[in-house]
Amino acid sequence: MFSLRQSSQAPRGPVAAAPLEEAKSLISHAEVALKPLVESPASTVSDVAEVAEELELADAAAASEPPDAASAKLEARLTHAKTVEGSARSVDGATSPWLLLPAERNYRLYVPPHVSQKNGGDTLPLVVMIHGCRETAEEFERGTRMNAIADREGFAVLYPDQATFANIRRCWNWFEPNTAAGNGECAIILEMIRAASKHTKLDGTRVCVAGMSSGGAIAGLLAYHHPATFAAVAVHSGLPPMMPPSAAAAISAMKKGVRVNGDLLADGYWNTHDMLPPPLIVFHGDKDETVTEKNATSMVKLWEKLYESAPQAGQLVRVATEIASDENTRAYSQIEQQREGKTVVSGLRIHGLAHQWSGGDSALPFNDAKGPDASELIWKFFERQQRVG
């Protein structure tokens, strides 16, 4: 169940652009739409050829004034960027001890400008971005600047918004038993994804989830409990699943680290699921005094255990890299774990970073202006992933 409020925004540029500039703008947006078609293994030759034909028409329009029928035709096919604000609830969304409170949360959905195909077959990947404590969905949207990447690369972005009635600090309740079991707030976010699919056509094989701090912990729970939904997961300054979950244990885990029983969690996973977990990328600063980086290490080790305990699985291949700093980027260490030549677990330890989103907008709290740019690296990791089966 969901409700919505919708606002639309035209593509960037003057409201009353000259015909030549208008045609050039249409070409730019069409190129964004064409990129995922060319790169997607599911795309057909006719898919690419159809949009390419529109590019040729727009190009011809840009070469002469006025662009007349060519740009008008592409304009009719261009879906402008829009932001949808709504709410979603789940019958499995109750959280203790607030069982009588609404199992409902708000969300923001950003859909970039894209070209619609005549056959109605156009779909967008979806990136779910879950904020941390003392943040709102809108602040996380602005701080991470993920929408700018969505405009360039052509994917939709869903921002769940925690309610103060559920947590006064707006933290996601990753430590609450129902949520830790994959229901509770996890179930509500799954409903948001279903609601998003009613507002724009989504590629169900390319839904990915990322989060910061408590939002990172929720992202990990979603991937662990619902691997059939997600193609990949990113955890920034977050925590791994905790057994048994409790608020008191969560406070200790933030400072001292979650004690992860990898064998127990791996057994639980493989007794429930018959597919590999979504590939994981983890970011954590070594100066984080809010959530110890021990949690990043535990998250990576858990995912390694899940992959290596899979039926007929072999040991992952480890590749370590050291990236030097420059005036705009912090030094960081990266360890990738590969399976059959593909990176399935990646961990970045960022030197000097506190409890902040790396490469974010420092005008907002919990964002560090210096790179590496987590949003860019997350999309680079996500764009290679596609859920199979």
For the stretch 191-237, pLDDT in tens is 999 999 999 999 999 999 999 999 999 999 999 999 999 999 999 99
Report the C-alpha gap between 323 and 134 in whole angstroms: 31
N residues, the chain? 389
Name the CA dihedral angle for 354, 356, 361, 362, rounded to a multiple of 10 degrees: -40
Q: In the prediction, which pLDDT does 65 show?
A: 44
What confidence score (pLDDT) does residue 384 get?
96
Backbone phi, psi, residue 68, to 5°: 40, -125
Confidence (pLDDT) at 43 = 40
pLDDT at 388: 81
Q: Phi/psi of residue 51, each to 5°?
A: -70, -35
At residue 51, the pLDDT reads: 43
The pLDDT score that the predictor gives to residue 108 is 98
pLDDT of residue 66: 54
**Residues 382, 231: contact at Cβ < 8 Å?**
yes
Between helix 374-382 and helix 146-153 the angle, nearest 10°, is: 40
Helix (H/G/I), strand (E/B), else coil: 294: helix
Alpha-carbon torsion 375, 381, 386, 387, what sign?
negative
Q: Name the residue type at position 331.
A: A
The SS3 assignment for 330 reads: coil
Sign of CA dihedral 382, 340, 217, 301: negative
- What are the backbone angles phi and psi of residue 266, rounded to the nearest 5°? -65, -40
Separation in Å, CA 277 to CA 244, 269, 360: 21, 9, 28
pLDDT (0 to 100) of residue 8:
41
- Residue 219's pLDDT is 98
- The DSSP secondary-structure symbol of 371 reads B
Q: 64, 96 in Cβ contact below 8 A? A: no
pLDDT in tens, 316-367: 999 999 999 999 999 999 999 999 999 999 999 999 999 999 999 999 999 9
What pLDDT score does 35 carry? 52
Q: Which residue has the tokens 């997607």?
A: 40
Ranges under pLDDT 70 in the chain: 1-77, 98-99, 115-121, 389
